[in-house]
Structure 1
Amino acid sequence: MPASGADTRGTVNRSTLRQQLTDALRDEVLAGRLQPGREFTVKQIAESYEVSATPVREALVELAAQGLLDSAQHRGFRVRAYTAAEFKGMVEARRLIVEGVHHRLALAASDLPPDGFVVLRRRAEEAGRAARAGELDVLIGYDLRFWNSLASIIGNPHIAEFLHQLRVRCWVFSVPHLRESPDLRGSGLLWSGYEEVVAALVRCDVEAVYEVLAAHDEAALRWAEGLSGPAGQGAWREAGDGCVGTTLGHS
């Protein structure tokens, strides 16, 4: 037990600060402001945020555990640079999980009360709007919220957490490539089919849910293949509508 109330408050405050730093640095990576391969030290981050080194170190260790950072021996930390092959592996891993849970997802959705889809539908609408408008930063936030809400319907927190980690890592890979596109609005790179998934769930159409997710995963794999092949960015246009957005989380 802590010796005093002040000690308890100090522990809570440090824990809160660590979480705030974790969230802020994750946002920096997902937004592409901390580029893959970028190295930094605990001291640099602590000075940048004007905080002590301890919560910064804890936040960086947490992000490394989530797969966003690598520990650079004797040099601090480095933003993880995922390869196209790793990206494809993550998509394939998620697809295998979706194959195993999509019937359970539809069954769980059928048991929801009439207002059970309110939050999910609202997040689907906002994510779809951001995708169609080419607003990448807004899309990332709503995409993660949407798939987390969808995953919670399944009722297995271990599956939800694993899919969330894959989703975040796929964004880490995708964002630098997406930033190179001069026009995300008209490029067809951002998937906007969130509302299609919700509509299929409301109808309890389990096959439609699976077909939507499987088709977009196939497009994502073609997109990644194009990135690692000689055609480079030109293959983006050939991967099909919404090839990137779908790779970011089918939970």
Structure 2
Amino acid sequence: MEQGRAREDVRPYASAGTPLDVRVPEQVRAEQVRGERVRGEQVRDERVRGEHTHSEPPAPRAVQRHSVRGQILDALRTALVGGELAPGEVYSAPALGARFGVSATPVREAMQQLAVEGAVEVVPNRGFRVSERGPRELAELAEVRALIEVPVMLRLARAVPAARWCALRPLADATVAAAAVGDRAAYADSDRAFHGAVLALAGNQQLVAVADDLHRRSQWPLADSRAGHGAELLADASEHIALLDALIAQDLTVVRSLVREHFNGADV
């Protein structure tokens, strides 16, 4: 029984009856074809010139591999946020590669990066298990984010003119649009884009990078993710709109209150 269950746990991207909308296989496959054609032409040119072709790999190969790996990594992150990669389940790189229409190598490289980020765990000889996260970890991430972002937001509220806040309106509206249709993956992207744009006004690239990493980690689903998230997404998105309105009006009292609420009652 244990062996049988172990085999069942090693799943492809999803069951055969659940098609995935990762939107990368054709693009990846086309790039691989283009890369092979370019490498073939380069090898023929080198042979015509009498050059050796075995001393070092041609440059397009390295660039192409990085491009495929990056696309697979983005798609896997989207699948994590959307719940298509379920917490606690084990997925093999060859099976995922078959779903994407690529070899197991770029999938394995992308999964290794996700392991560094804490999204998955390496299971020797089987694949990668999606990490199971609980409410405590989510609360800890929210606390760290608050310690970093809240002081910066309050400082910016006092210094940034209204016109610059107005320019962020489309980003806030995008979070509402994604939340309205319950698209968790699209909401995650727009949510990070809004927060990143706000923090970018501080002019500190390291701050933006660190905050974005923490924000991404906080978006991975909990182990028990059966409950719906539509109401939560809409509530969070509405806070973006209200916060932006307060920043444009330079109402520091409202800004302080909304920022506290947005970061789960952080002690500001």
TM-score, L = length of structure 2? 0.68
Q: Is the 8 A contact 1:197 1:212 kept in 2?
A: yes
Q: Is the 8 A contact 1:105 1:153 kept in 2?
A: yes
* Structure 1 pair 210–63 and aligned structure 2 pair: CA distance change class (3 A): farther
Flag the structure with larger Rg: 2
Q: Which residue of 1 aligns with 2:18?
A: none
* Structure 1 pair 101–115 and aligned structure 2 pair: CA distance change class (3 A): closer
User: Separation in 1 of the partners of 2:190 and 2:233?
Assistant: 20
Alignment counterpart, residue 82 of structure 2, candidates 27, 31, 44:
31
- For 1:125, what is the secondary structure of its paired residue? helix
Deviation at 1:206, TM superposition (A): 4.3
Q: Is the 8 A contact 1:30 1:175 kept in 2?
A: no
Q: Which residue of 1 aligns with 2:69?
A: 18
Deviation at 1:188, TM superposition (A): 6.6
Alignment counterpart, residue 172 of structure 2, candidates 118, 124, 143:
124
User: CA deviation digits over 1:171-201, x for unaligned, max 9?
Assistant: 2135963x522x8359976542211222222
* Structure 1 pair 68–94 and aligned structure 2 pair: CA distance change class (3 A): same
Q: Which residue of 2 aligns with 1:210?
A: 256
Q: 1:1-251 alignment to 2 at 5 Å?
A: 7-107=58-158, 109-110=160-161, 114=163, 117-118=166-167, 120-173=168-221, 177=225, 179-181=226-228, 184-185=230-231, 190-218=236-264
Deviation at 1:61, TM superposition (A): 1.4
User: CA deviation digits over 1:197-231, x for unaligned, max 9?
Assistant: 222222344443332121233369xxxxxxxxxxx
- For 1:102, what is the secondary structure of its paired residue? helix
* Structure 1 pair 187–218 and aligned structure 2 pair: CA distance change class (3 A): closer
- For 1:193, what is the secondary structure of its paired residue? helix
Deviation at 1:158, TM superposition (A): 2.2
Q: Is the 8 A contact 2:172 2:237 kept in 1?
A: no
User: CA deviation digits over 1:109-149, x for unaligned, max 9?
Assistant: 33x8x46642x210101212333454434322321221222
* Structure 1 pair 107–54 and aligned structure 2 pair: CA distance change class (3 A): farther
User: Separation in 1 of the partners of 2:232 and 2:143?
Assistant: 27
Q: Which moved more, 1:159-168 or 1:100-109?
A: 100-109
Deviation at 1:91, TM superposition (A): 0.9
Q: Is the 8 A contact 1:41 1:76 kept in 2?
A: yes
User: Separation in 1 of the partners of 2:93 and 2:238?
Assistant: 38
Q: Which AA in structure 2 matches 1:37?
A: G
User: Separation in 1 of the partners of 2:262 and 2:151?
Assistant: 17
User: Separation in 2 of the partners of 1:204 and 1:28?
Assistant: 38
- For 2:129, what is the secondary structure of its paired residue? strand
User: Separation in 1 of the partners of 2:222 and 2:243?
Assistant: 22
Which consecutive residues of structure 2, in runs of 5 or more, have no partner in the other structure? 1-51
